[in-house]
Amino acid sequence: MRLTAITMAASLVAGAALADAVAPGDVTYTEYGEIETSLSGAPGDAEAGAKVMTTRGLGNCVACHKVDALDAAFQGEVGPPLNGVGGYRSEAELRGIVANAKMTFEGTVMPAFYKTSGFIRPGDGYTGKGAAEEDLEPLLTAQQIEDVVAYLMTLKD
Amino acid sequence: IATAPALMAGGPDDDTMVINGEIEMTTKTEAPAHMEGTGIDTIISGWHFREDETQSQQLDDFENQGMIFVDNARDAWDTVEGEAGESCASCHGTPEDMAGVKPVYPKYVDSAGEVRTLQMQMNACRTERMQAEAWGYDAQPAIEMEALMSSVSRGMPVDVAIDGPAAEAWEMGKEIYYTRYGQLELACASCHEENYGNYIRADHLSQGQVNGFPTYRLKNAKLNGVHSRFRGCVRDTRAETFSTGSPEFVALELYVASRGNGLSVEGPSVRN
């Protein structure tokens, strides 16, 4: 009885979080590419965000960006280093850049991490096979975006 | 005393390439006229972006593991196959007689009315002239023979035609080169034009030239074809790739080869 109650409560919480999450197609960007409010409806967890940034199958942000505070070998040089970025960019700017950097930097090579449509020949992950657009998941979930943003906000010189 | 400024971690190095102590190779040269506006004024072989140990393996045929496959192809060259009872040697003499063929491929072949890669042309000889079976695209015998054809042209400048009847395929290849495919929305140009010299995670990005193909890669210890490499790069953008031998990749090969016009033919090269 007690167990059931806990399970019920847990799934209610999960359901509530899901209901609050903004779907990739419904995100509102300001004219400068910012996103004002949390995509998941919940605050981010900086530690989880650091993990997303260094994990190959997830954000793998360090493929292109150097972040001295992160413990990851072979940090890339395609994008600017992110040291101190939380000091000169707002949370809303960072959320917009991580979700879809093209709204802030026109034509940037940085991929959009919270977008599921408008691609040319989208694939089924890294298999090289095609995928139907309606089956695509964003590269990161709403909560993972919030986690990454929370981590970036800790990067202050 | 001022020392030379530290190169960006990435940039190409300044080594020079001489194969077997005798073939002087052009590994950096002025970009062809059609590349005006790309931001690239010097075209650079992928060799310059590799580590010294990898580079040195290409300098001597006894150390170049790709040459083992070239030897296989020399045997195949003399081997009679197919109903017609012919070998490559029956019509073409020695492999060395084919020097100068590789640098101009892919090219528009009049008799076929299409742009063909070297592999397509060799397969035409097999099916039409030898009555033998076609080789699979980038399959072992095909890639070995391509490596032989390349090795006898080493040091000659890549010189593919982009005008006349080849223009249509070239334009198609160019469009593919700049199309941002897949869920990562990256084009060939995103990595090999805008970012060559930079590291992307542990990978040192080159200009993505094809003058070194087939390449012997330490990573998979075999010869790798151009189209197989293209497939890998497109797949890494989380896109649906094109097939090896497809009209799209033939066109893309022509376009990418033309961005290397002036670099020496290097195949089989050694890469990681």
When pLDDT is cut at 50, 70 and 90, the band that residue A18 belongs to is low
- Encode pLDDT of A110-147 as tens digits: 999 999 999 999 999 999 999 999 999 999 999 999 99
The mean predicted confidence, pLDDT, of chain B is 95
State the pLDDT at residue A19. Answer: 57
pLDDT value at B91 more than 50: yes
Q: In angstroms, rounded to a whole number, what is the distance separating the alpha carbons of residues A66 and B164?
A: 47
pLDDT value at B10 more than 80: no
Counting every residue written for chain A, the total comes to 157
Does B180 sit within 8 Å of A120, measured CB to CB?
yes
Does B199 sit within 8 Å of A76, measured CB to CB?
yes
pLDDT value at A15 more than 90: no
pLDDT value at B6 more than 50: no
When pLDDT is cut at 50, 70 and 90, the band that residue A6 belongs to is very low
- Encode pLDDT of B222-266 as tens digits: 999 999 999 999 999 999 999 999 999 999 999 999 999 999 999
Tokens of residue A117, six digits: 């449509």
A131 inside domain:
no
Global ipTM? 0.92
Average pLDDT of the segment spanning A34-44: 97
Q: Which helix (H) or strand (E) holds B24?
A: strand B23-24
- Encode pLDDT of A61-87 as tens digits: 999 999 999 999 999 999 999 999 999
Does A64 sit within 8 Å of B240, measured CB to CB?
no
When pLDDT is cut at 50, 70 and 90, the band that residue B12 belongs to is confident
Pairing of strands B269-271, B215-217: parallel
Domain range enclosing A99: 27-114+138-156
B185 touches A: beta carbon within 8 Å: yes
Chain B positions touching A131 (Cβ under 8 A) are 240
DSSP state of A33: S
When pLDDT is cut at 50, 70 and 90, the band that residue A5 belongs to is very low
A41 inside domain:
yes
Chain B positions touching A119 (Cβ under 8 A) are 181-183, 185, 239
C-alpha distances (whole Å) from A39 to each of A14, A19, A119, A141 are 15, 11, 22, 9
Mutation for testing the B interface, residue in A108, A110, A120 having most B CBs under 10 Å: A120
Q: Is B215 helix (H, G, I), strand (E, B) or coil?
A: strand
A34 inside domain:
yes
State the pLDDT at residue B4. Answer: 33
A5 inside domain:
no
**Number of structural domains in chain A:** 1
Pairing of strands B269-271, B203-204: unpaired
Chain pair A-B, CB pairs under 8 angstroms: 81
Average pLDDT of the segment spanning B186-214: 97
Q: Which helix (H) or strand (E) holds B42?
A: strand B42-44
A98 inside domain:
yes
pLDDT value at B122 more than 60: yes
State the pLDDT at residue A2. Answer: 44
Instruction: Please give the residue that has the higher pLDDT: either B231 or B5.
Output: B231
A53 inside domain:
yes
pTM: 0.94
- Encode pLDDT of B157-197 as tens digits: 999 999 999 999 999 999 999 999 999 999 999 999 999 99
Catalytic positions of B? 233
Residue B257: partners with Cβ closer than 8 Å, 6 or more residues away: B105, B106, B158, B160, B210, B211
A39 inside domain:
yes
Q: B4, B198 in Cβ contact below 8 A?
A: no
When pLDDT is cut at 50, 70 and 90, the band that residue B9 belongs to is very low
- Encode pLDDT of B92-106 as tens digits: 999 999 999 999 999
When pLDDT is cut at 50, 70 and 90, the band that residue B11 belongs to is low
Average pLDDT of the segment spanning B32-55: 96
∠ CA(B42), CA(B47), CA(B52), 5° rounding? 125
Give the domain CATH number at A65.
1.10.760.10
pLDDT value at A44 more than 90: yes
Does B180 sit within 8 Å of A78, measured CB to CB?
no
Residue A110: partners with Cβ closer than 8 Å, 6 or more residues away: A64, A79, A97, A101, A102
A12 inside domain:
no
CA distance A54 to chain B (A): 10
Does B198 sit within 8 Å of A139, measured CB to CB?
no
